[in-house]
Structure 1
Amino acid sequence: MASSDDHLKVDVYYNGAFVPNSLLYFDPDITTISGVDLRELDFEAFIELLSKVTRMSCVDVYFCLPYESLGEGIHSLYNDGDYKEFLEMGYNNGKRMKVYVDQYNEPIFDWIEADDGEEEGTEDLDCEEDEDSVFSDAESVDHEEDVELDANNHTTTDQFLNILCPSAPLNEDKHDDLPQDPIHNDKQAWDKMEPILGM
C-alpha cells in the first residue's frame, strides 16, 4: 500500500467568487484533501468527495497548478477526461494541485478571452500611437518671424511698476511733473483744520 506522501495533495478553494480582469478567486474558504489515493477514484467519486469536504453542490469545478496564474493555467473539470488530465498534471508537478468550486456559474473562459482581446488591442494601439508620434522630416512647419525685444523699455512714470521693479532707472525729469498731494500737519489745531482732497 502506498504511503500518504505518495498521494496527490489538493487545495480546495470554495465559497468565494471569480472576478474578471486578471482572473482571481476572491474571498475563498480553503481546505486541503490529503491522504487519499485519488487514482482509485473516478470523476463522479471525486466530485462527491468535493461535495462532502465543501458541504456544497460542486457543479462548476476548475483546477490549476499552484505556480500558475488563473488566467493562464485554469482548466475545467467536467468529465473523466478532464479528471485524468488533472491527475496526470498533479503527479507530474510536485503532487500538488489547486481546485476551485464556482457556485455562481461565471463565464470564466469568456472573461479570459476578453482579457486577451483587450491586451492585443492595446498593443495595436500602442504601435499606432508610436508611428503617429514620430515627426517626419519632410513635413514643413511655418514659424512666426522672431521679434527682438527691447529689454530697456521700462515704464518709469508708473510708480506701482517702479515699486515692483526697483532696478529700473527712474526718469527724474518726469518725476517732477507728478501731482503733489498735500501733507497733513499734526501741529495745526484741530478746530482750524480743513480737509483737503488727497490729504
Structure 2
Amino acid sequence: MASSPNPTDQNFIVVDFHYNGQFAPNPLVYFDPNRASVRDVDFSGFGYEQFMEFLHKLTNSRSKDIYFCLPQESLGLGIHTLVNNSDYKEFLDLAYANDKRMNVYVDHHNEPIFDWIEAEESESENEDLDEDEDSVIQDSYSVDHEEDDATYPFPANKTARDRFLNILCEPIESEDQDDEYVPPQYPVYDERQPWDQMKPIIDG
C-alpha cells in the first residue's frame, strides 16, 4: 500500500468513501451510508486492482459495482463507473483537476442506476417539452378586433325616411298566420319645401 506519514504530499487526494448504503432513484441519491474519509494515502501509486484491495479492507466487503463522482456534482449528472484501469485513470485525473477530492460509492445491491438516470432525463425532457408547448400557445393567442373601416351591407347615407331601412325594420310575420300580407304604405313628401316645414302630400 502506498502511504506516507506526510499527508500534505502533493500527490495525495482526499477520497470520501460511501458504503453499506443503498441507491434510490428520482433523483438519484445514496441513502444511509457509512463514510470514511481517506487523506493520507497516495492513490496515484495504485492501479485498479490495488485500489479494489484497499476498498475491500476498508469496508470489509466486496462489490464489483463501484462508482465515483465529484463532490460538487449531483449523482444523476456526474456519476462514473469504476470497473477497470481506464476508469481508475479517469478517477485520478478528475480528482487532481478538481481540488484533489473525490467521492466513491459502493453499490451492494447491484441497482440499475443508469437506467434510473435515463428514465429521469426522459421525464425531465417531456416536462420541458410540455412547458414549451404551453408557452407557444400563450404567445400565439390573440383576439381579433373589429376593424374601424369595416364595410357594411348598406350605404351609410340612408335617411330615416328611406324605404330600404324601413323594410329592414318591418316585423317578420309568422308562417302560421292566415291573414293575407298587406304591404305598408309610406307617406310621400314634397322635398322642395324646407325640411322643418315638410308635410306629407299623400298620407299612407
**TM norm structure 2:** 0.64
Answer yes or no: is the 8 Å Cα contact 1:50–1:58 preserved in 2: no
Alignment-derived partner of residue 7 in structure 2: 4
Q: How far, CA to CA, are the matches of 1:138 and 1:106 in structure 2? A: 57
Give a deviation string over 1:90-114, Cα, whole Å, max 9, x none: 1221111100000111111111111
Give aligned pairs, total: 140
For residue 104 of structure 1, the aligned residue among 78, 101, 109 is 109
Q: Percent identity?
A: 47
Larger radius of gyration: 2
Alignment-derived partner of residue 121 in structure 1: 126
Q: How far, CA to CA, are the matches of 1:89 and 1:127 in structure 2? A: 36
1:74 aligns with 2:79: yes
Alignment-derived partner of residue 155 in structure 2: none
**TM norm structure 1:** 0.65
Give a deviation string over 1:81-136, Cα, whole Å, max 9, x none: 00001011112211111000001111111111111111111111112223335533
The secondary structure found in structure 1 opposite 2:8 is helix
Alignment-derived partner of residue 46 in structure 2: 41
For residue 37 of structure 2, the aligned residue among 23, 26, 32 is 32
How far the C-alpha of 1:46 sits from its partner, in A, is 0.3
Alignment-derived partner of residue 199 in structure 2: none
Give a deviation string over 1:13-57, Cα, whole Å, max 9, x none: 001111111211111110122211111111011011101101111
Answer yes or no: is the 8 Å Cα contact 1:11–1:30 preserved in 2: yes
Answer yes or no: is the 8 Å Cα contact 1:10–1:32 preserved in 2: yes
The secondary structure found in structure 2 opposite 1:11 is strand
How far the C-alpha of 1:138 sits from its partner, in A, is 4.2
For residue 142 of structure 2, the aligned residue among 136, 146, 150 is 136
The secondary structure found in structure 1 opposite 2:49 is helix
Give a deviation string over 1:119-173, Cα, whole Å, max 9, x none: 1111111122233355332499xxxxxxxxxxxxxxxxxxxxxxxxxxxxxxxxx
Answer yes or no: is the 8 Å Cα contact 1:58–1:101 preserved in 2: yes
